[in-house]
Amino acid sequence: MVFTPSPQLIEQLQEIVGELTTPDEGEKYGAIPAAIVGLTNSDKTVFLNGGGVRSIKDEESVQLEDQMSLYSCTKSMTALAALKLYEDGKLKLDEPASTYLPLVEHIGLIDPGTVNKQGEFTQQPRKPKSPVKVRDLFLHTSGLSYNFLSKDYYYLSKKDKGETMLNPSEKYFTNDKIPLIYEPGSKWLYGHSTDVLGLVVSYVAGKPLGEYLKEVLFDPIGMTSTTFHLKSTDNVLKPHFRRKDLSIIASSASLNLDPKLDMGGQGAIGTVSDYLRFLRVWLNYGYSPDTNTRVLKEETVKFAVKNHLPPGVKVAFDIPKAPKIDDGFSLTGNAVNERPMFTGRPAGSLYWGGLANLYYWIDLENGIAGFWASQILPPADPITASTYFRWEASVYSEIKSLKKKGKL
């Protein structure tokens, strides 16, 4: 039986979204400038709601079909593109990534802490014992990091500002910017792995990542508003930043309308409606009910959604005060819940999110997926995250009640 939220739950979900996006009396915007939130079962979108303003500067009201930067929600779409090449026999998981993308062979390994504040190596990069495999790029076990998670990367980024992670060319993917900081396959480390996977896809497919995704995903399932290149930002939610005093300012980060590369780990722009269509493909093991189209074979997705991390390796963030996660990671660009969540989400579900407090989950057991999309920095904003989890918990409260009554 397919889950459909009751009118009472829909009202409750709307109220939770409104708590954050509705301004108090005398204020111009709410606790966050904007949010667009959706819930889907395996057949269709069953809840779509939003509120707030596109930008605190112009105060134009949010529309449900507004676009926004998807940040790391891009990763799962890139993983699907790579899985399509794997399925077609054009990409092998255990092949060195350099077989398809030669520049990977020239990215060396350093010990953490061997880049000084001037961005110079105190110890020269060396060749890793094992090559970076395609599988490592899927799983974030390549040894690559991000400059906001690694001091070494941060110092390297300050030395040459001509190439930045926000709008890089292929020249960015070198020792001088992104050396390996762990042996490939030895540790889970969040970083540029999916960006490099996107380059692999581009090289194997013989076209930019965005063009290949348009061919194998966007057009086949009707994702008409998802792209890596924009002509205008008129209908786009703008990023904002919450300061320590909880006040909100417009973010200095600008949206690249025409980036040098289609970045597989962060570069897509789209709508919540489109992304829910995409989540339905995972819920249906590669099939789109929206267009009656199979994107991936069922057996490919059943294989991909499992935890593929090596024994003893778990998802974990090397940053102070980061919560202990200890989850698995799949070949779908998503983590795998190793145990039930406090919200009611069951073990075996997939999840991930994006930098500006975007969150989604894919519950294969109950056939539902949810997407909370906002554009507020820094990541893991307590006000946004706690409200998102309460929103998700409300969904599972009704599911639990229906199951208890034998109605689901």
Active-site residue list: 72, 75, 190
Please name every residue paired with 308 in a beta bridge, in sequence order, or none if there are none: none
Tokens (6 digits) for 168: 């890089």
Angle at CA 223, nearest 5°, toward 21 and 65? 25
What tokens does 39 get? 């819930």
CB atoms within 10 A of CB 224: 14
Angle at 32 between CA 262 and CA 239, to 5 degrees: 25
Check residue 282 and give left, alpha or beta (phi > 0: left; psi -120 to 50: alpha). Answer: alpha
Give the whole-angstrom CA distance, residue 234 versus residue 71: 19
CA atoms within 13 A on the CB side of 46: 21
Q: Considering only CA atoms, which of 90, 93, 182, 73 is closest in space to residue 133? A: 93
- For residues 176, 177, 178, 182, the Cα torsion angle rounded to the nearest 10 degrees is 60
Please give the radius of gyration of the chain, using alpha carbons only, rounded to the nearest integer: 21
State how far the alpha carbon of 242 is from the alpha carbons of 13, 239, 285, 357, 385, in Å.
24, 10, 38, 11, 13
